[in-house]
Amino acid sequence: MSYCVNPACPQPDNPDHVRRCQACGSELILHDRYRAIKALGQGGFGATFVATDESLPGKPLAVIKQLRPASTTPHILDMARQLFKREAATLGRLGDHPQVPRLLDYFEVAQQFYLVQEYISGQTLKQELKSTGPFTEYGVKEFLREILPLLKYLHQNEVIHRDIKPANIIRREMDQKLVLIDFGAVKDEVHKTALIEATSTGQTAFTSFAIGTPGYAPQEQLALRPVYASDIYAVGATCLYLFTGHSPNRFGYDSRTGEILWRPHVPYISDSFAQVLAKMLAVSVRDRFKSAEEVMRALDVASHLGSLTEGMVSQVPTSNQADDPTHLETENFSFLPTHIRQARDIQAYKARKGQSRKSASDTQLERQLTVKPTATRLGNTVAVEKQRPTKWDAAAVLLAYGKGRKDFADCDLSGLQLPRVTLTKTNFYGAKLDRISFQESDLSGANFARASLIQATFRDANLAGASFSYANLAGADLRGANLSNASFISANLRGANLCGANLTGARITQQQLDYAKTNWLTIKPNGKRSFFG
């Protein structure tokens, strides 16, 4: 299929063998090289298309951005041409970074301007959230640790992106790295004079100079005065989306200060990280972080504070709650942050067993979760600080599961030997499970999303309906495993052994299978065996 890029074309779809549009007669092969095959998006500034490069073997995909001047008068056209060349030069300079699509080509055809960039295969963070659900605090922090160095790189190159949002960040399928796309709103500091001249005369080079997306663009950017801190605000707003799955403009604003009223929508966040996020989202540029490096330092401090308070009781219970063991037993805390859940688990066990008589198994589990605490006051909150070990042992995992615990999110279980155990519907989201052995175990319905499972052993295990979305399964042993209806969305399967595994109904791509080891006994997602190993 060929797609006509003429904005006035009444019927842009065409057969893939024709060179001219059958509806309007426009040339379909741009620059004697690129054939657009579908539209990705359109706006006042132009449109974006997926195209094939007809000049190269295999006709690889590329992204073409068409920039349309508002007028063809000499003055406007000349200004558009200058800005176009500057933007191409900026994108060419930024393309040296592995998390920015490379600029492949740029050209002018019939007074319209075209940028050709590398095509990035993968899901946007917006698409990802629809598949896997909102991120935990740990996941949002990992997002920041990956995106902030890229933001620092852009700003060091005197570039303000101006349209950072979940739909413009792709997790590249090949290596799971985040890639920032859509530099259509990019602003190079060297453009400042030209843009001021253009806006002062009431004319701009393009129909509508992109200023960002509502909810993600701060006030100074909407007033056409973006600064580097404007991108920091957009990254903070993206964090809110990752926490909630909602655009920040749905939260409402304080009528007096203009601040986003996000805190009630993100109740399960540490105070230290909430302070970092609040400073990223400050309405006044004076109160906001000035650089990505400042945010990274603050994030490191917040993470350090989080590690000190991890496993704390966030609030001392009232006397009535302390005296009522059913208060803890009957509530479902599976949605709470891990350290709060663990602390409440301890309280629940104590309430059930009684402080005077504890079994040996209770003592072992309690020791695994905590050691003798010391009271600490954080602001108005009294907390119990503990030196919780970062690593669990196999006996404690089985003991906790036997007592009803099914949440081991973000826990370190690496290297444990857990063969022939039953841990159905257990949550291992974001956990460290490298070199763990689950051989012949029943893990049906378990959640391994974003977990590290490097060289893990699942040989002959039951993993029916399990989720491995965005997990790292490099070198994992899945021989003979039941993986029917399992989800491997964007999982890394490089070097994983799937010989004899049952993948009936699994959500897995052929590219992922190509990275893994398979044989004629491997059952494909369609339920058939074949010689594709």
Residue 159 near residue 90, CB atoms below 8 Å: yes
Calculated CA dihedral for residues 320, 326, 328, 333, nearest 10 degrees: -140
Please enumerate, as own/partner, the contacts of 276-281 that have beta carbons within 8 Å and a separation of 24 or more: 276/302, 277/236, 277/239, 277/240, 280/232, 280/233, 280/235, 280/236, 280/239, 281/233, 281/236, 281/237, 281/240
Q: What residue spans of 354-421 are helical by DSSP H?
A: 360-369, 394-402
Catalytic residue chosen out of the listed positions 53, 163, 182, 410? 163
Backbone angles phi, psi at 167, to 5 degrees: -75, -15
Token pair listed for 314: 């966030």
426 and 408 in contact (C-beta within 8 Å)?
yes
Residue 355 phi, psi (nearest 5)? -70, -25
Torsion of CA 427, 433, 437, 441, to 10 degrees: 10
Taking the C-alpha atoms of residue 142 and residue 160, their distance in angstroms, rounded to an integer, is: 22
CA distance 91 to 86: 9
User: Which residues have CB under 8 Å from 18's CB, separation 6+?
Assistant: 2, 28
Torsion angle, alpha carbons of 467, 140, 245, 270, to 10: 110
Residue type, 116: V
Give the residue from 34, 27, 2 showing the smallest Cα distance to 15.
Answer: 2
- Name the β-bridge partners of 341: none
- 22 is written with which tokens? 């059958």
DSSP code for 39: E
Backbone angles phi, psi at 235, to 5 degrees: -65, -40
Could you confirm whether 442 is annotated as catalytic?
A: no
Residue 152: in which H helix or E strand, if any?
Answer: helix 137-156
Active site residues: 163
